[in-house]
Amino acid sequence: MKDLFSRTLQTTIIFLVIGGIMALALGGYFSGASNVFTGSLVNLQTWFSTRFVAIQDFFTSPRDIASLRQRNAELEGEVADLQAQVIQLQQEVGETQILAALVDFERAHSENTYRAAAVIGRDPSPFLHYVIINRGSNDGILRGMPVVTNQGLIGRIDAVIADAARVELITDPASSVNVRLQNAETDASLVGSVTGDLTLELIPQDINVQPGDLVLTSGLGGGYPPDLIVGQVVNVRSRDFDLFQQATVQPVVDFNRLEIVLVIVNFKPVDISPLIPPNP
């Protein structure tokens, strides 16, 4: 009986102690010790967990790496194919944009008949500014026909073979185009240079030329049809002792980026050389 009492008392004390500890813990009196304990427990579990995962990876990874490598190779192949497609599509988009612009130009200038051609080369000599196009006499191209883009005049056909032609650009040093200034209503001569700069010459001194004036072909001489846009006046050089003014012209066409051009095939150039009196 005495033993039963003492055992019950002992159990009761233990419960009371545990309950008191729990009450103190719930009351926040053991938070510091609790944090240390739980922190250590979490760290220990993390350590075991990472080791276990590492060991698991060690035994299972060879199969995964092989499959991943195969999958990676497949994906790299797909990426390469897609990149090639993207480049091809970008090129096609660029060509389509150029062709769309040329079609718009053709519709806006329906009085002319055009033949589209791709620029396939440039003159091997740096002294001359010529380009080579992939249309020739088989496509109805003849010497002297004007060549334009949707932006404006670029030159005229200089030589033709069956499937190709050489175009003399207006920037060529031997090129001379009769032009008119739209605002000033006067004619002038546009000449190229070895550096590709365009200069407007033979502008009468009494004509008021301003930067920004539009330069168009005049049609005089029969070499080019009239009213093709050539460029804009950038600056004017006028000196009292000169007979004529000079002006620098910024062409509307970027001659370094010629890709597709239009040949005006219904224009017949007029050869006026027999009308020019010979020099005495």
Partner 1 sequence: MRNIVALPVILFSVILQSAIISRVYLLSGIADLPLVMLAAWALQEEVDSAWQWAVATGLLVGFISGIPLIVPVLGYIAVVVLAQIFQRRVWQAPLLAMFSITFLGTIVVSVLSLVVLRFLGVPLPISDVLGLLTLPSVLLNMLLAIPVYAVMRDLARWVYPSLEVE
Binding residues vs partner 1 (CB under 8 A): 120-128, 130, 132, 158-159, 166, 168, 172-174, 191, 193-196, 256
Closest CB to partner 1 among 13 and 174? 174
Closest CB to partner 1 among 216 and 261? 261
Closest CB to partner 1 among 5 and 127? 127
Q: How far is the CB of 156 from partner 1 (least distance, A)?
A: 12
- What the block records as the tokens of 182 is 């739209």
One-letter identity of residue 209: V
H-only helix segments in the chain: 2-26, 31-108
Q: How far is the CB of 255 from partner 1 (least distance, A)?
A: 11
Q: How far is the CB of 117 from partner 1 (least distance, A)?
A: 15
Closest CB to partner 1 among 20 and 121? 121
3-state secondary structure 144-165: CCEEECCCCEEEEEEEECCCCE
Q: How far is the CB of 81 from partner 1 (least distance, A)?
A: 27
Secondary structure letter of residue 205 according to DSSP: T
**What's the rounded Cα separation, in Å, for the pair 212 and 230?**
12
Closest CB to partner 1 among 216 and 258? 258
Q: Which helix (H) or strand (E) holds 190?
A: strand 186-191
- What Cα–Cα distance (Å) separates residue 233 from each residue in 7, 123, 193, 199, 224? 116, 27, 16, 9, 20
**What's the rounded Cα separation, in Å, for the pair 167 and 143?**
9
Cβ-proximal residues to 159 (8 Å cutoff; 6+ apart), any chain: 143, 165, 166
**What's the rounded Cα separation, in Å, for the pair 15 and 162?**
112
Closest CB to partner 1 among 79 and 174? 174
